[in-house]
């Protein structure tokens, strides 16, 4: 089966610019996650979707970050405007459902550098 | 808030050696604990998932144990190989399936 797809793989922007990332989860997976991984740290959950509804966005900096999952499939994560501290790898993951039995499948990530 | 700590931060061992990676967490009310592997420039791959009611899981040369009461998990790798070189991440999920990750252990297996 095809894995989680993400694009672009790399992005370099200047601070105060806007950027968007795209994620296509594994077919049939109802749950989708966006994580931020800063160099040397573990991933931090930004937002979790169940189908097209938000389950948890408590760690999403809502003044500059937004995410949507229209039709419960693909998702986009946007940063507007970007700051230097947003430089990180943005990982998308999906799972069939949200339960203690389910593992998450991760995409390759988008590496963002803000100058 | 759940906090996950992994020790050591980096480990270098000769090929063939058995090794143990450690993970500790502060809130024992977890749904499950997972060990992931991360290769440079790539996403995470799930290695083992231990449900809250389980004590251990095994897959090939890997064995993960869970002691909820003490807030600890270990990942045991037998007969290490150069291909095992990667960063190993521990993650716990609490109620609501919020995942908390440790900072990882960077493993290098020397041929």
Instruction: Flag residues of chain A having pLDDT under 50.
Output: none
Specify the pLDDT at position A97: 73
User: Which ranges of A1-115 would DSSP assign to H, the alpha helix?
Assistant: none
Cβ–Cβ below 8 Å for B34 and A103: yes
Residue B9 has which token pair?
Answer: 């931060």
- What pLDDT is stored for residue A12 in this prediction? 98
| DSSP label at residue B95 | T
Helix (H) or strand (E) holding A33: strand A31-37
Indicate whether B1 pLDDT > 60. Answer: yes
pLDDT in tens, B4-38: 999 999 999 999 999 999 999 999 888 889 999 99
Binned at pLDDT 50, 70 and 90, residue B41 comes out as confident
Question: Measured between alpha carbons, how far is residue B23 from residues A97, A99, B28, B91 in Å?
Answer: 26, 22, 13, 9
In DSSP terms, B92 is beta-bridged to: B33, B100
pLDDT of residue B97: 62
B66 touches chain A (CB under 8 A): no
d(CA B10, CA B7): 8
Res B88: pLDDT: 97
pLDDT digits (tens, 9 = 90+) for B45-82: 999 999 888 999 999 999 999 999 999 999 999 999 99
Q: B103 — contact with chain A (CB < 8 Å)?
A: yes
**Within chain B, what is the greatest distance between any pair of CA atoms?**
43
pLDDT tens-place string over residues B88-107: 999 998 765 678 999 999 99
Cβ atoms of A56 and A68 closer than 8 Å: no
Of B43, B97, B103, which has the smallest distance from its Cβ to A106's Cβ?
Answer: B43
d(CA B46, CA A72): 24
């Amino acid at each position: 089966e095809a894995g989680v797809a993400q694009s672009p793989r790399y992005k370099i922007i200047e601070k105060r610019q806007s950027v968007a990332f795209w994620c296509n989860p594994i077919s049939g997976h109802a749950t989708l996650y966006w994580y931020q991984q800063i160099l040397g740290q573990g991933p931090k959950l930004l937002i979790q979707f169940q189908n097209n509804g938000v389950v948890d966005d408590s760690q999403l900096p809502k003044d500059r970050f937004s995410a949507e999952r229209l039709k419960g499939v693909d998702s986009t994560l946007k940063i507007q405007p970007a700051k230097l501290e947003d430089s990180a790898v943005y990982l998308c993951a999906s799972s069939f459902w949200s339960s203690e039995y389910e593992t998450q499948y991760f995409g390759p990530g988008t590496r963002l550098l803000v100058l | 808030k759940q906090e996950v700590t992994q020790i050591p931060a980096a480990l270098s061992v000769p090929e063939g050696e058995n090794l143990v990676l450690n993970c500790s967490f502060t809130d024992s009310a977890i749904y499950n604990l997972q060990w992931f592997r991360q290769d440079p420039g790539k996403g995470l791959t799930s290695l083992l998932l231990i449900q809250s009611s389980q004590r251990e899981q095994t897959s090939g040369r890997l064995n993960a144990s869970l002691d909820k009461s003490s807030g600890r998990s270990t990942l045991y790798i037998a007969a290490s190989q150069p291909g095992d070189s990667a960063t190993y991440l521990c993650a716990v999920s609490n109620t609501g399936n919020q995942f908390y990750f440790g900072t990882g252990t960077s493993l290098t297996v020397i041929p």
